[in-house]
Amino acid sequence: MYDNLGMPPGVRQPPNSLPNPFGNGLYGASSGFIRGGLGAYGEKILGSSSEYVQSNISRYFTDAQYYFQVNDHYVKNKLKVVLFPFLHRGHWTRITEPVGGRLSYKPPIYDINAPDLYIPLMAFGTYVVLAGLSLGLHGIFSPEAVNWLFIKGIVGWSFQVSLLKMTLFSLGSGEAPLLDIVAYAGYTFTGLSLSILGKIFWGFAYYFMFPWTSLSMGVFLVKTMKRVLFAEVRSYDSSKHHYMLLFIAMAQFPLLIWLGNISLNWLF
């Protein structure tokens, strides 16, 4: 009988080969070198990628808590600036402070010109509630109608953000934080909610309040975008800047007409 290796019983199997005195050492050295090299290279790639992502996030986004540092005094004065920009006698520039060796903007609670998200979100919610109330007074209220008005408001807000962002890009200044632009665009619903509220109490009040709120929003955005452009743009073309700012102001009228039309139709 033979064992599993095919040798007769009692016969020892000769060793296969002599040990290689360099094999384990070379293998260990080469594997360690490969692991160390790949590890360092991978760490370099991941580190640079992480720094790139973080730098771009901080470049286009900022801490969301910054936009909710508000109080009653700020909200009251900010609403005055948005609804009555003609009466704003102060400057439109934002206040800076040194933080970590570089300049940073002060939060809204300390700067009336700083953007916030508290007022836009509250105004947007007010717009949806007042629009639903208006539908109820006309006997066409339904949960589906409120959902439609919510989507309509989101579309209008997104259009305003795209309009402001494309304007900055076209003028050579597209580095403003995205949440800043979202906040500026969201102020549209403050005057819009006021117009709808006037329409609920007196139908003809809408036709008086709507032109005022549209014009006020246009002036507010022009003043704000001019400040952003002067602060960040690399080259200045007076005629091009003026035309684009005028376009922003004129675009508020059809946008607010569309958002202010409380109906279940897509257009009017």
Which pTM does this prediction carry? 0.75
Are the CB atoms for 69 and 75 separated by under 8 Å?
A: no
Strands (E), 96-236: 96-99, 102-105
- Return mean pLDDT, the chain: 78
Q: Calculate ∠ Cα 190-72-75, nearest 5°.
A: 25
List pLDDT tens digits, range 132-155: 999 998 888 888 888 999 999 999
List pLDDT tens digits, range 174-184: 567 899 999 99
Q: Which of 37-41, 193-197, 206-210, 254-258 has the lowest mean pLDDT?
A: 37-41
Mean pLDDT on 80-101: 87
Give residues with Cβ within 8 angstroms of 185, minimum separation 6.
120, 157, 160, 161, 163, 164
List pLDDT tens digits, range 29-84: 445 544 555 445 444 444 443 443 344 444 445 578 999 999 999 999 999 999 99
User: Between helices 188-201 and 205-232, what is the axis angle to 10°?
Assistant: 170
What is the distance, to the nearest Å, from the Cα of residue 238 to the centroid of all Cα atoms in its chain? 28
